[in-house]
Amino acid sequence: MRIALFITCFNDTMFPGTGRAVVDVLERLGHTVDFPQEQTCCGQMHFNTGYRPDAVPLVDRFARVFGEYDAVVTPSASCAGMVRENHPVLAEEHSSARLQADVAQLVPRVHEFTEFLVDVLGVSDVGAAFPHRVAYHPTCHSLRGLRLGDRPQRLLKAVKDLDLVDIPAADSCCGFGGTFAVKNADTSTAMLADKMRSVLDSGADVLCAADNSCLLHIGGGLSRQGSAVRTMHLAEILAATEGGPR
Amino acid sequence: MTGQGVVWLGSPPFPKAAREALKNDQLRANLKRATTTIRDKRLAVASELDDWEALRESAAAIKRRTARHLDRYLLQLEESVTVAGGTVHWAADAAEANRIVTELVRATGEREVVKIKSMATQEIGLNEHLAEAGITAYETDLAELIVQLGDDRPSHILVPAIHKNRGEIRDLFTAEMGSWGRPAPDGLTDEPAALAEAARQHLREKFLRAKVAVSGANFACAETGTVVVVESEGNGRMCLTLPETLITVMGIEKVVPTWSDLEVFLQLLPRSSTGERMNPYTSTWTGTTEGDGPSAFHLVLLDNGRTDTLADTVGRQALACIRCSACLNVCPVYERTGGHAYGSVYPGPIGAVLTPQLVGVETAASLPFASTLCGACYDACPVKINIPEVLTHLRAEVVEAKGRSAEALAMKAAGVVLDSPRLLGAAQKAAALGGRVLSRDGRIGRLPGPLHGWSDSRDTPAPATESFRTWWRKNKENGESR
């Protein structure tokens, strides 16, 4: 199986450790992965903010870069959702029949990281060890967009020495919402305040999720408060091993 | 400060109105308590039905089919109502609807009307229009009465006074009831039973006196000409049965083809709205019947932007709304800001997609952005309106209508960078450098320009010194992974 990584522009720039963790986990499971350097961005920011035509070249690029692979794996539920839900929409609205066909062919091969592990590779124990109290935040795109269900929790529960705790009102949005956090900063902050309270109430040392964007938001708020709770992409927890640096 | 049409003139854009609302701790506490209670009840009663998902799918299908042939069903409705002894009036917009209703009331010689909660008459600002014509409209739905007594605006579709708690309502009754009719009893407490009794006494004299009633409609059945109102208090039934003249104002999208279609909606609506298995009062009326109920019945069919909405193949799904307000009760944005911040008769997620379509996106440009696209509304909607899909669709329309802007230029520039791995790599290097300058201990505090709202309450990590693509090129390219 030829596996390509779609690391996403945001992770590439801000959280390269997440990409390295994905590589570690997949290689540990015996798979060879590729990172096509021509990849950039899924176009989610443009699409969600109303700049649809500006996202079309990115859809076209995505289809060209990843078209030949058996599987495209991404550590972002929201970017996987963007490709799956909205690339077909953009291809139909703004582009050629060829791109529509290419997108339709490619979309079923695009997987969010935990989906790929559980559904495609059939793995729930990835051989990780992480001796911390961890809470999982189901981001809206994981929960209601991709319907990841309990896949992330199944993976986390199989991690050695990991104590998985629940967050109260876990399914409520953290208030990030991409440009929402900028355009409606006050409302976003009010939602963040409630989410931070839930995280602190859970007693977790580490908060993880399948999207670094929400973690950037929650982690940024916790950092501003001087909280010791760390935020980590769940891939980084799955990459951690006994005797490893974490 | 009552309504003046779909949008309230002079309302600030959502972010600004929300900022004010967020300062009101009492409002947030009231909202959180109310929405959490209804939300939990809704989940409990919806999960009782094994065929809940099938019901939602049926409802969505009925609405789609009706919308496709709306002209046919409306003509059928007109014919059925006429045959049953009613009169149908067509109103293209708010002004026409107001004129029709005012003339109908004037023709009776009456100077006051009782009203049962109607979103459509809120939408057209009927009460204000009637007042200008010297006709007083009395709201009889308890929550609408509270809003009217307070010279307030509704903040929720189903519970228009959701922003008020019991103590606030008691004070309002004590202070204001006397100037509208029977005053509140002395020593009124904030016990629900006492408040309900005060409202009952106050309203009863209006029900018994009124010769004309104005109602809304939840549904109208084209096949039989039957109009349907569902409610909890029975005040609607008083309005629908006691007066001599009944005028119903109904959005054209409320028509359903057959009586049996109602069965689907009457299961979904009460469960989705109040978390009840069945609403306490379901009133249906078909034209007029001698010696029973109103002797004159008028049905005003209101367009007011609906056929334009229907022409939009993505946006038209908002017309499927049955006004249950489940989307409001699950919306994390609504829960924090309340309904007034939307500046519209239709608040919350459904308002954010319906209002801009009814009034034009330029007039309500901030509403499609008043959402995190979290998707809770879509999951809760009993007729499966894909609200996030419509929101992003309308955002694109807002951007198009605005034309050139600083944001558009920035997005264009970002698009160019993101369509080039070389430019993206260069931007990453610049960001890493900038981040090192701005950050302390790897975190950035205050940011300038449009990002200050973000950075007021959050730190931002400095961009990585080495991007993933650079790491890959150094460590993996031409190496073992290829």
Which whole-number Å values give the CA distances from B156 to B28, B153, B337, in the listed order? 14, 9, 11
Of A89, A120, A151, which residue constitutes the final position of a domain?
A120
- Domains contained in chain A, number: 2
More confident residue, B33 or B385: B385
Identify the pLDDT of residue A245.
Answer: 61
Phi and psi dihedrals of B418, rounded to 5? -75, -15
Q: Which residue of A has its CA nearest to B369?
A: A180
- Asked whether the beta carbons of residue B458 and residue A50 sit closer than 8 angstroms, the reply is no
Which whole-number Å values give the CA distances from B475 to A17, B384, B398, B482, in the listed order? 14, 48, 45, 11
- Predicted confidence (pLDDT) at residue B446 exceeds the cutoff of 90: no
| Contact residues on chain A for B397, CB-CB shorter than 8 A | 50
| Same domain assignment for residues A139 and A115 | no
- Asked whether the beta carbons of residue B468 and residue A7 sit closer than 8 angstroms, the reply is yes
On whether residue A38 sits in a domain, the answer given is yes
| Same domain assignment for residues A19 and A116 | yes
**Beta carbons of B289 and B295 less than 8 angstroms apart:** no
Tokens of B388: 């996030």
| Same domain assignment for residues A110 and A194 | no
| Same domain assignment for residues A110 and A161 | no
∠ Cα A134 A138 A142 (to 5°): 135
On whether residue A153 sits in a domain, the answer given is yes
Identify the pLDDT of residue B2.
Answer: 41
Q: Judge whether A239 is closer than 8 Å to chain B, CB to CB.
A: no
- Enter the CATH code of domain B14-306: 3.40.50.10420
Chain B contact probe: residue of A9, A15, A90 with most B CBs at under 10 A = A9
Q: Which of A52, A58, A185 shows the shortest C-beta gap to B454?
A: A185
- Predicted confidence (pLDDT) at residue B482 exceeds the cutoff of 80: no
d(CA A115, CA A111): 6
Q: Which residue of B has its CA nearest to A47?
A: B392
- Asked whether the beta carbons of residue A61 and residue B419 sit closer than 8 angstroms, the reply is yes
| Same domain assignment for residues A139 and A80 | no
Q: Which of A13, A27, A33 shows the shortest C-beta gap to B431?
A: A13
Checking DSSP bridges between strand B443-444 and strand B460-461, what pairing results, if any?
antiparallel
| Closest-CA distance of chain B to residue A225, Å | 9
* A111 SS3 class: strand
A133: left (phi over 0), alpha (psi -120 to 50) or beta: beta
Identify the pLDDT of residue B439.
Answer: 87
Q: Judge whether A176 is closer than 8 Å to chain B, CB to CB.
A: yes
ipTM of the complex as predicted = 0.96
- Asked whether the beta carbons of residue A187 and residue B371 sit closer than 8 angstroms, the reply is no
Query: Edge to edge, what strands does the sheet with B296-302 contain?
Result: B87-91, B296-302, B245-251, B212-215, B112-115, B136-139
Nearest to A61 by CA among A46, A78, A40, A75: A40
| Same domain assignment for residues A11 and A39 | yes
**What residue numbers bound the domain in which A68 lies?**
3-120
Mean pLDDT of chain B: 94
- Count how many pairs of residues, chain A against chain B, have C-beta atoms within 8 Å: 191
Q: What is the mean pLDDT of residues B85-99?
A: 98
On whether residue A65 sits in a domain, the answer given is yes
∠ Cα B414 B418 B420 (to 5°): 125
- Asked whether the beta carbons of residue B461 and residue A190 sit closer than 8 angstroms, the reply is no
Q: Which residue of B has its CA nearest to A85?
A: B389
| Same domain assignment for residues A16 and A107 | yes
Chain B contact probe: residue of A7, A183, A213 with most B CBs at under 10 A = A183
Q: List A residues 127-156 in contact with B (Cβ-Cβ < 8 A).
A: 140-141, 143-145
For A143, how many CA atoms within 13 A lie in the half-sphere containing its CB?
Answer: 19
**Beta carbons of A198 and A170 less than 8 angstroms apart:** yes
Identify the pLDDT of residue B3.
Answer: 43
| H-run or E-run covering B392 | helix B387-402
- Asked whether the beta carbons of residue A182 and residue B22 sit closer than 8 angstroms, the reply is no
| Same domain assignment for residues A99 and A32 | yes
- Asked whether the beta carbons of residue B337 and residue A187 sit closer than 8 angstroms, the reply is yes
Domain segments of chain B as ranges: 14-306, 410-481
Chain B contact probe: residue of A2, A12, A213, A233 with most B CBs at under 10 A = A12
| Same domain assignment for residues A69 and A146 | no
- Residue B8 confidence class, pLDDT cut points 50, 70, 90: confident
Identify the pLDDT of residue A246.
Answer: 55
Position B440: which residue type? R
Of A65, A94, A120, which residue constitutes the final position of a domain?
A120
- Predicted confidence (pLDDT) at residue B301 exceeds the cutoff of 80: yes
More confident residue, A229 or B157: A229
On whether residue A126 sits in a domain, the answer given is no
Identify the pLDDT of residue A200.
Answer: 97
Q: How far apart are the first and last CA of chain B?
A: 69
In chain A, which stretches have pLDDT less than 70?
Answer: 245-246
- Residue B478 confidence class, pLDDT cut points 50, 70, 90: low
- Asked whether the beta carbons of residue A37 and residue B476 sit closer than 8 angstroms, the reply is no
**Overall size of chain B counted in residues:** 482
On whether residue A224 sits in a domain, the answer given is yes
Q: Which residue of A has its CA nearest to B449?
A: A182
d(CA A188, CA B188): 40
| Same domain assignment for residues A54 and A103 | yes
| Contact residues on chain B for A57, CB-CB shorter than 8 A | 415, 419
Q: Which residue of B has its CA nearest to A7?
A: B468
- Residue B271 confidence class, pLDDT cut points 50, 70, 90: very high
| Same domain assignment for residues A82 and A111 | yes
Query: Edge to edge, what strands does the sheet with A33-34 contain?
Result: A33-34, A3-5, A71-74, A110-112
Question: For residue B372, what are the contacts with CB-CB under 8 A and spacing of at least 6?
Answer: A140, A173, A175, A176, A177, A178, A180, A188, A191, B332, B333
Of A120, A151, A178, which residue constitutes the final position of a domain?
A120
| Closest-CA distance of chain B to residue A39, Å | 7
- Residue B311 confidence class, pLDDT cut points 50, 70, 90: very high
On whether residue A223 sits in a domain, the answer given is yes
